[in-house]
Amino acid sequence: MSSPLKSADFHILLVLADGPRHGYGIMKEAETESGGAVRLEIGSLYRILARLLEAGLIEDADADARRHYYRISRLGRRVLKAEAGRLAGLVDLVRARRLLPGGDA
């Protein structure tokens, strides 16, 4: 994955890294964890899930009577790590320019 992940994709992967979830669980946690920045209604949520499934970043976990659960795939985990690394690198860069407190300055 050369281009950065879209923020909604990133948050969904991040939620799923914690363990399998169904749609509503993803929707809620993504919203809380992003501090409200990622608000997904069902249309967008399932559109993105479909895309992530197709790209092999997530996969179907078991299904209960009513709905599917999704879990992150190994590829997904690798992508997530790569993206997190990229973001961390960015944060270091920002700190080095003294735009944020902390770091080795």
Partner 1 sequence: MRRVVAALLHLFPPQFKRTFGGDMLATFDQRWRERSSWQLAARTIFDLIVSALLLRFSTHQPALGPIRKGDSPVSILWQDFCFALRTLRKSPAFTLVALVTLALGIGVNAAMFSVANAVLWRSLPFPDADRIMWVGEVDRANPDNVWGATYLNFRDWQARSHSFERLAGTMRDERILRQGTEPARVSGMAVTPEFFEVLGVQPAAGRVFGAADERPESPLGIVLSDRMWRRRFGAEPAMVGRTIRFDDLIATVVGIMPGRFEALMESEYYVPLGHVIDPYFATHRAVWVLSSIGRLRSEQTTAAAQTEVEGIMRQIRHDHPEVNRGFAMRVHPLQSQLSRDLRPALLALLGAVAVVLLIACANLAGLMSVRAASRAREMAIRSALGAGRQRMIRQLLTECATLAFAGGLAGIGLAFWAARGLQWLSKDPRLLKVSIDLPVLLFAFAATLMTTLLFGVAPAIHAARIDAAEALKSGPRLGGGPRRAFARQVLVVAQVALCLVLLVGAGLLFRSFRRVLGVDPGFKADHLASLRVELPGSYKTIAAVLQVHHQFLERLKSMPGVVDATMINSLPVSGDSSNGDIAIEGIASAPGELGATNFRRAVPGYFRAMGIPLVRGREFTDSDDRQHPDVAIINETMARRFWPSQDPLGRRFQIGPHDTARWMTIVGVVKDVRNLRLDSEIGFSTYQPYAQQPRTRMEFALRTAGSPELIMASAQRELQRIEPAAMIDNVQTMSQRIDETLSPRRLNLVLFGLFSLLALVLAAVGLYGVVAYAAGQRTREFGIRMALGARAANVLWLVLGQGLKLALLGVVIGTGVSMGLTRLLTKLLFGVEPTDPLTMIAVAILLACVATLACWLPARRATRIAPTEALRTE
Q: How far is the CB of 2 from partner 1 (least distance, A)?
A: 20
Q: Which stretch binds partner 1 (CB under 8 A): 2-10, 18-26, 81-89, 92-100?
A: 18-26
The correct pick among 6, 18, 37, 67 for binding partner 1 (CB under 8 A) is 67
Which helix (H) or strand (E) element contains residue 72? strand 68-72
Instruction: Give the angle 30-78-92 at the CA atoms, nearest 5°.
Output: 75
**Under rule CB under 8 A, residue 22 binds partner 1:** yes
* 76/99 Cα distance (integer angstroms): 31
Q: Is 68 in the site for partner 1 (CB under 8 A)?
A: yes
Is 71 among the residues that bind partner 1 (CB under 8 A)? no
Contacts of 47 (CB under 8 A, 6+ apart): none
Q: Which residues bind partner 1 (CB under 8 A)?
A: 22-24, 27, 39, 41-47, 49-50, 66-68
